[in-house]
């Protein structure tokens, strides 16, 4: 059996919008939904659908939602995320307690072509990899995922009744919390010949149940699980401290604060595929691999924009006195 998100409820979830501000700009009260609806809440897109029963979802602060459903529910799905999918890195945490058939998955759709996709992080009694064609695996974010494809023929979709493929990454080591580097799954699918469409619809961290019962309490946000700050001390009374700046679907900002001297040379070791797109408040040499920064008269704090290219690991950093 291959149910879940799109095969039964895609038409209801087709409505969309755009996230209009950062989550911190919102302070909406908790809201419980128990009938089919979509919208935004505290800066996040949400969707809720069921075909029967007593399932409900409570929208909470920022990207958090909680859910519960009983055995009288045939099929339901709900979650928080984004109205437009992308190669974003997603972090989530919480609790997930299914009894029976259920998924916890990052889930979305594309058009041109019409594709339904899942990154399954946890599941109940039914493993979706048992009902699809295995095309390989990808190791990312501390685990290995089976890559699979299945086809739905004349089934509901975001564009009505249609025939379309489903792409799957199913984590072999179940978990309920961590980072999903979506770009790594997209790239692994492409290497297996599974090409997504050019037009992304919604992307949500969803809980789903089918003829089962259970509960979940999930918080989702954009960005990886990298620490907020990461100081590196070096000989010569020179210390460089990294801290996170703004992050987008394909790049991220890092701030660097230098202490101990005003004549410094900071060396950053970028990861594979990464490159410097922009920098400010320092004289920066190099765009990939080893990058160096020196004072340019703007003080001891500077920043960089790094194109991730699927690699969201912060660069290594050292500091020396010039």
Instruction: Supply the residues annotated as catalytic.
Output: 116, 208
Beta bridge partners of 145: 138, 171
The neighbour count for residue 246, using CB atoms within 10 Å, is 11
Indicate the pairing of strand 143-157 with strand 160-171.
antiparallel
Q: What's the 3-state SS for 82-121?
A: ECCCCCCEEEEEEEEEEEEEEEEEEEEEEECCCEEEEEEE
Ramachandran bin of 180, using left for φ above 0, alpha for ψ from -120 to 50, beta for the remaining angles: beta
Q: Burial level of 196, CB count in 10 A (0-12/13-18/19+)?
A: buried
**Is cis: bond before 113, omega within 30 of 0?**
yes
DSSP letters of 184-209? Answer: HHHHHHHHTT-PPPSEEEEEEEEEEE
């Amino acid at each position: 059996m291959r149910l879940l998100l799109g095969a039964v409820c895609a038409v209801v979830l087709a409505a969309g919008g755009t996230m209009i501000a950062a989550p911190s700009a919102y302070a909406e009260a908790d809201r419980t939904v128990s009938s089919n609806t979509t919208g935004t809440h505290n800066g996040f897109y949400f969707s809720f659908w069921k075909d029967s029963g007593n399932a409900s979802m409570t929208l909470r602060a920022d990207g958090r939602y909680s859910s519960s459903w009983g055995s009288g529910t045939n099929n339901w799905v709900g979650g928080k995320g984004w109205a437009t999918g992308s190669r974003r890195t997603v972090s989530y945490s919480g609790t997930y307690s299914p009894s029976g058939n259920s998924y916890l998955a990052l889930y979305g759709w594309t058009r041109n072509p019409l594709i339904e996709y899942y990154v399954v992080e946890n599941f109940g009694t039914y493993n979706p990899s048992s009902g699809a064609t295995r095309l390989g695996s990808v190791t990312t974010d501390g685990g290995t995922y089976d890559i699979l494809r299945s086809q739905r023929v004349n089934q509901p979709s975001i564009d009505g009744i249609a025939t379309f493929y489903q792409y799957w990454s199913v984590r072999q080591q179940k978990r309920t919390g961590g980072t999903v580097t979506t770009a790594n799954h997209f790239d692994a699918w492409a290497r297996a010949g599974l090409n997504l469409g050019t037009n992304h619809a919604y992307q949500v961290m969803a809980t789903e149940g089918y003829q089962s019962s259970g509960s979940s309490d999930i918080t989702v946000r954009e960005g990886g699980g990298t620490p907020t700050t990461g100081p590196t001390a070096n000989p010569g009374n020179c210390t460089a401290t990294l801290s996170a700046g703004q992050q987008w679907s394909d790049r991220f900002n890092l701030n660097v604060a230098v202490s101990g001297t005003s004549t410094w040379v900071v060396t950053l070791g970028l990861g594979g595929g990464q490159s410097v797109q922009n920098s400010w408040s320092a004289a920066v040499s190099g765009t990939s691999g080893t990058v160096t920064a020196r004072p340019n008269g703007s003080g001891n704090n500077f920043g960089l924009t790094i194109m991730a290219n699927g690699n969201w690991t912060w660069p290594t950093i050292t500091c020396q006195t010039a």
